[in-house]
Amino acid sequence: MAEARVERRLAAVLAADVAEYSRLMGADEEGTLAALKVCRRDIIDPQVVAHHGRVVKTTGDGVLVEFPSAVDAVRQELPFR
């Protein structure tokens, strides 16, 4: 019987969610959803792209991101060189 080849790779994985999301939704559902949409568009998505990652899955208030390089995942670009 032929053995199946196992593909291995290193990656960094980020799992994040919004603290106090249920409370925020209870207090102001429309405002919370609007703020979350702005955070995704203006902060999270551009940083994922800048660090060569990809969003694997989103949940109501969470995101699962994979970075193929641990170095790229944590590299901080300095505003000057």
Read off the pLDDT of residues 26-54 as tens digits, 9 standing for 90 and up: 999 999 999 999 999 999 999 999 999 99
Nearest-angstrom CA–CA distance, 10 and 8:
7
End-to-end C-alpha distance for the chain, whole angstroms: 57
Q: What is the mean pLDDT of residues 48-73?
A: 94
pTM of the complete model: 0.79
pLDDT tens, position by position, 7-18: 888 899 999 999
Q: How far is CA 71 from CA 10, 17, 51, 57, in A?
A: 11, 23, 9, 22
Q: Is the pLDDT assigned to residue 25 strictly greater than 70?
A: yes
pLDDT over 90 at 81, yes or no: no
